[in-house]
Chain A
Amino acid sequence: MSRSPFLAALIGLTAVLALLAAGCGGGGGGGGGGDAKALPASSCSDIYYQGDGNPDAIIASDLPLQGSGRSQTVQMGEAIKFVLKQHNFKAGDLNIGYQSCDDATAQEGAWASEKCSANAQAYAQNTSVIGVIGTFNSGCAEIIIPVLNRAPDGPVAMISPANTYVGLTHGGPGTAAGEPGKYYPSGKRNYIRIVAADDFQGAADALHTQQLGLKKIYILNDKQAYGLGVATDYRNSLNKLGIKSVGFSAWNSKASSYTGLATQIKQSGADAVFIGGLVCENGGKLVKDLVSVLGKDVTLIAPDGFTPISAVVDGAGDAAEGMYVSVAGQPNEKLGAKGKQFVKDFGATQSSGQVDPYAAYAAQSAEVLLTAIEKSDGSRADVAAQLLKTKVTDGILGSFTIDANGDTNSNPVTVYQIKGGKQTTYKTITPPQDLVKG
């Protein structure tokens, strides 16, 4: 039996495949200037670019575009586009395109760690991505920041308009061991945020509680990253002010009824309840049951997890009347001249005419990122370095500086109250540093 046909066939087959592999190897990737490679369509929108020629680099936004907060996050994307258009899609010499990426899944209606991780890998591996605006949820940021930090071509710049978890930028009570260092394995910082962290929000809420004259507070959290963090910060600030917290426990977002929990709270004699968590974790039902058991006299205070306020009103109905919701940042009517101009111009482009406060934050993030790109030499590592040196004078959010940790030095917290099913601004508090740090 001749062996040549067998050998010939096998060799031929292997040769063909090897040729295919070698010959087609190395393809793809951007060519010369002006050829930014798009992020995958499964997570991201098409490249938004209306300038001349082709985009050289891409900035991406990483936001949860599904679920109850969708109206907020979609508008944030629109605000970034608005700012990019105002800059004529240029930052320095580079043509900048924009892609809006989703880190939420339809089933959860909220961010999912698989998507955050897949998105992070996509941003890191795609060398056309020069900066990321995101995320909205701190848990997602915990996943993305280290991956971006270790990306090839240097750490990728990331600026968040909304992350409030303390441990992302600095340590302190309420953070875990190894934070924030563990998010920056390369040793260099690449992440900044333009909102106050939860230690400020907790302090502001504590001051607000003190100013309302409340004496016994029961603290609830939704046992998620953000909620647990903000509840812990609030408790720490309360303790510093000398107010007693009569309880600290979690609520089960999958439960059908919270009357048992509310009864336990009633038993503790609390006159106010702090609800640290997200409204989409069955927050509406929780508010309803708290009010039904504790009566309408109970004061409810919630941090910015309970925005958009429309979601709270939808979920809780009349029970949400009189509830306080704090949001890190200024309300639109308190912004400076430039901010008011933005709200007016951007609001004109929106069909509803309303501008969510977070849209202003997204717009300011875009401005900061574009400025950093302009000041840099065009490489990813340098954009990140410039980002850490941000100093804004008379921007949309006023004037502020970013410190070496990536935190902003302007930390107002606005407390809204729900009246007649609508949000009304109650007051703005800027907590003193000694309450936050001391």
Chain B
Amino acid sequence: MATDARRENISWIQGVRRAGIAPAFGFLLVALLLLWLAVNLVQTPSDFVSVALEGITLGLVYGLIALGYSLVYGILELINFAHGDVFMLGSWISFSFAANRIGLDAGSSGFTVIWGLGLTLLVAMVFCGLLNVTIERLAYRPLRNAPRLAPLITAIGMSFILQDVGLNRLGPAPVSVPNILPTGAVFTIGGHEYRWSSLIVALTTFPILFLLMWLVQKTRQGKAMRATAQDQEAAAMMGINVNRTISFTFLIAGSLAGVAGLLYALYSTNIRYDQGFQLGLIAFTAAVLGGIGNLPGAVLGAILIGLIQQFNEGLSWHAPSSQWTQSIVFAILILILVFRPEGLLGERTPEGG
């Protein structure tokens, strides 16, 4: 847009006019948002920082789920509605395994906690990964050539089935997970305690993101994934086993959901059977915000959404407050999809709109 203007040597006003009203509107919104944040920062700096930190942590949890959505969408162009519920089952299996099988609770020693959590992480990843692969095999693969809507509808059905399993296992009310991490603060910033659970979330998410990016960019399997995402038939002609690649992608996405489930259980200490649906939608919004199919974009979008959520609820100067949070998140989703469907980091494709 603006670059075109420079190349053509027209004034910036003409450039803006050519680009249209939508980007100008978008910039205006963003500017207002930043202004509102700045006012709040000036008025209550310590609260702002604590709310921002919480927002980032929450955003990182969303990011792990969003990565799974992005991976699957990139390769199959399918919005896997069931992904959020795989995440919920990951929370459940982590809780069930850690609390009931190993017997971790608030009184366990540090060494037990580390070993126990590591084991639980492994169990959650394997369980969710295999679950995701099975779902793909049973529900999505037979519909690979069907019209676009068919696997989408099947995904909704699958989501319902998984939610029902969760409802039967967890009950309709939230279940409290014992707090096995030390309750003190890691460090304190301006009166706000940065908890161990937040640290673990941050310490886990970033390495996973980098690991995933390495996997996709540098390994052979990753190349196969990228090739299949670009063009399935051409990839098959090049000798890539497309079915196996897709299954592998679902395995990775499922494992990510499992990790997210465990982290969520640790961070929020309350799990419920419909958290998958709620957080799945938020994570999908985040993936779209960052650019669907783009891995760092998914995490960036997720962090932004987490920040927006926490700012909405935590700041006091003209904040809409938590009764509007859901509407705001969905409104963002709708605005992004309507005005900039390729997201922040994505590339505009001809059918992107």
Contact = CB atoms under 8 A, between A and B. Distances in A.
B323 A250 contact: yes
Interface string B255-299: 000000000100111101011001100000000000000000000
B310 A259 contact: yes
Interface string A237-271: 00000000000011110111111110110111000
Contact of B172 (A106, A264, A285): A106
Contacts of A110: 172
A317 interface: yes
Q: Which of B50, B269, B279 has the most CB of A within 10 A?
A: B269
A100 interface: no
Contacts of A314: 176
Interface residues of B, number: 42
A249 B314 CA distance: 12
A267 B268 contact: no
Nearest to A288: B269
B54 A257 contact: yes
A406 B179 CA distance: 47
Interface string A273-284: 000000010101
A327 B319 CA distance: 33
B173 interface: yes
A353 B109 CA distance: 38
A285 B174 contact: yes
Nearest to A311: B173
Interface in B7-59: 44, 47, 50-51, 54-55, 58
A66 interface: yes
Interface residues of A, number: 37
B322 A252 contact: yes
Interface string B305-334: 000011111111001011101100000000
Contact of A267 (B44, B178, B309, B321): B44
Interface in A363-394: none
Contacts of A317: 176, 178-179
Contacts of A252: 313, 322-323, 325-326
B171 interface: yes
Given A106-B167, A259-B314, A267-B44, A249 B172 contact: no
A97 to B, nearest CB: 31
A260 B316 CA distance: 10
Contacts of B174: 282, 284-285, 315
Contact of A280 (B58, B61, B173, B267): B173
A264 B316 contact: yes
Contacts of A421: none
A434 interface: no
B313 A261 contact: yes
Contacts of B309: 255, 260
B171 A260 contact: no
Contact of A284 (B58, B167, B176): B176
Contact of A260 (B173, B264, B279, B310): B310
Contacts of B316: 264, 267-268
Interface in A108-124: 108-110
Given A249-B322, A315-B174, A256 B44 contact: no
Given A263-B50, A266-B47, A315-B174, A255 B325 contact: yes
Contacts of B311: 260
Contacts of B272: 282
Interface in A98-149: 106-110
A112 B66 CA distance: 33
Contacts of B178: 317
Contacts of A109: 171-173
Contacts of B315: 264
A223 interface: yes
A223 B323 CA distance: 8
A263 B47 contact: yes
A316 interface: yes
Contact of A315 (B55, B264, B270): B270
Given A251-B322, A256-B268, 8 more contacts: A67-B172, A68-B172, A257-B310, A258-B322, A259-B51, A259-B310, A266-B47, A288-B176
15 contacts: A67-B172, A106-B172, A107-B172, A249-B322, A250-B322, A255-B325, A257-B58, A259-B310, A259-B314, A260-B51, A260-B311, A263-B47, A282-B174, A282-B270, A311-B173
Interface of A: 66-68, 106-110, 223, 249-252, 254-261, 263-264, 266-268, 280, 282, 284-285, 288, 292, 311, 314-317
